[in-house]
Structure 1
Amino acid sequence: MTRTAVVTGGGTGLGRAIADRLAADGLEVTIVGRRAEVLETATKEINAAVGADRVTYVVADCADPDDVRALADACPDRVDVLVLNAGGLTPSTGDDLEALAHDWAADYRLNVLTAVLPVEALLSRLARPGGRIVAMSSIAALRGPGSYGASKGAINTWITGLAAEVAADGITANAVAPGFVPDTEFWDSRRSPELIAQRTSQIPVGRPGAPEEIAALVAHLGSPEAGFTTGQVVGIHGGALLARL
């Protein structure tokens, strides 16, 4: 039986790299995002690359309950891998309390609701046993300032609780926490040679990460071989933050 995957935020950046990898591995992939043109282009390009119609798309805002209900209706009856990649950073709208309240709420909506709502809507469709949930966290969850780091920290706490809830059904739930991966839309408005050099100087392996490396880790956590790994936040950042167990 062909395994299936749903990748939110799958039209560009890390989500696109993950969809590329899963489709190349033979999964049937549904990519999700808010921009139909971007999703249509990604779908055509991935299908052409793998030489088969393995990718379809659904336009949805994963922080909107009605959109997420419609997404669930459009997804396969059985989902083997659910990748929660939708998210981003809200630009600052000011320095008064009203702006602060707006920006923090916006980052939680963008990074937390976009993970929680799809899981709740699709949980009944996840394969039992063998379902895999992979959420996108960030190194910022452990050392990043402000609302973005706090929202990714919330993902870490939520995913560990979720893992305990679904373990008896043979479903795993983990998060991936990338470090500096400049070749994504996340960095488009800020990327510069100076920023890349400054960030790279803090990475022990001496280089930034690549989207394909993040996708490879997600592919492993979504694979049948990863059934004994759950409730984890797996860092992938070139040693920028060393773990102690």
Structure 2
Amino acid sequence: MTRTVLVTGGSSGIGRAVAARFAADGAQVYLTGRRPEAVERAAAELGAHGVVADATDPGAAAALAARLTTLDVLVNAAGGLPPTAPAGPCPLADLLASWQANLAQNLLGAVLTTEAVRELLAPGGAVISLGSLGAERRGGAYGAAKAALAAWSSALSAQLAPRGITCNVIAAGYIEGTDFFGGPVPEERRRALIEETHNKRPGTVDDIAATAHFLASPGARHLTGQTLHVNGGAHTTR
């Protein structure tokens, strides 16, 4: 049976790779993004349904849910580093704006989208959210938002598990092929990020896409409430 998959932030980077992985598997994929041109292009190239939507907008989340009748897999991939706010008259006001922007993009967007489609999730489904190594170290406001995302996801797992729905976070390390840093990473920093890994290579968007596809597979039905670190060993757990 054809699965219905929703990928927020699916017009570029990791989200696009995730959408492509499920589309290649024959799923009916809906992908979202804030830039109409990017959404239209990605949808056309992947054979997916493109929806222009801001995950942090409650109205947009509700309108997105209204387009669906059922949902098997939700991947909350929208997020990233917000643009640096211009300096204002009050440094504390600037600090507050930065934290609010990070929480909105990296936590609240996933919460709003998930709540909007919650009753549409089918038994045997999966909710997968994109976290970050930044939640473990040197993350600042962004890392704090991703840490909160993991805590929320763990609680959500307990709520959805009785319906046979799993809920997990993929905490990505350094991933190339995205616009996360807003431009090319300086070579010295790139080398340092790769050196932190055990396998001495950068992560790829396909590494994350393959992990997301596994988490939505029959083989991962007893895997829920977890944060999976996909970082080549840059951060280890036990």
Tell me which interval the TM-score lies in, with the shorter structure as reference length.
over 0.9
Question: For this pair of structures, how many residues does the alignment match?
Answer: 235
SS in 2 for 1:123: helix
Deviations 1:97-148 (A, max 9, x none): 1100000011001111110001101010000x20100000001111133100
SS in 2 for 1:130: strand
Query: Equivalents in 1 of 2:173, 2:93: separation in Å?
Result: 31
1:38 pairs with 2:42: no
Matching residue of 1:99: 94
**Amino acid of the structure 2 residue aligned with 1:59:** V
* Aligned equivalent of 1:90, options 60, 75, 82: 82
Q: RMSD of aligned C-alpha atoms? A: 1.2
Deviations 1:151-200 (A, max 9, x none): 00000100000000111110100000010002101023251222211211
* Aligned equivalent of 1:122, options 114, 117, 124: 117
1:80 pairs with 2:72: yes
Matched-pair identity in %: 42
1:70 pairs with 2:70: no
Matching residue of 2:3: 3
**Amino acid of the structure 1 residue aligned with 2:33:** G
1:176 pairs with 2:200: no
Residue 43 of structure 1, CA deviation: 1.1
User: Does the 8 A contact of 1:8 with 1:15 survive in 2?
Assistant: yes
| Matched ranges for 1:1-245 at <5 A | 1-47=1-47, 55-75=48-68, 77-93=69-85, 94=87, 96-127=91-122, 129-244=123-238
Deviations 1:63-93 (A, max 9, x none): 1111111111112x11000000000112333
Query: Equivalents in 2 of 1:45, 1:122: separation in Å?
Result: 25
Residue 225 of structure 1, CA deviation: 2.3
Q: Which moved more, 1:88-97 or 1:7-16?
A: 88-97
**Amino acid of the structure 2 residue aligned with 1:29:** V
> Structure 2 regions of 5+ residues with no counterpart?
none
Query: Equivalents in 1 of 2:74, 2:217: separation in Å?
Result: 11
**Amino acid of the structure 2 residue aligned with 1:103:** S
Query: Equivalents in 2 of 1:9, 1:97: separation in Å?
Result: 30
> Structure 1 regions of 5+ residues with no counterpart?
48-54
For normalisation by structure 2, the TM-score amounts to 0.96
User: Does the 8 A contact of 2:81 with 2:181 survive in 1?
Assistant: no
User: Does the 8 A contact of 1:200 with 1:207 survive in 2?
Assistant: yes
User: Does the 8 A contact of 1:10 with 1:32 survive in 2?
Assistant: yes
**Amino acid of the structure 2 residue aligned with 1:178:** A
Residue 219 of structure 1, CA deviation: 0.4
User: Does the 8 A contact of 1:138 with 1:177 survive in 2?
Assistant: yes
Query: Equivalents in 2 of 1:190, 1:97: separation in Å?
Result: 30
SS in 2 for 1:89: coil
User: Does the 8 A contact of 1:182 with 1:191 survive in 2?
Assistant: no
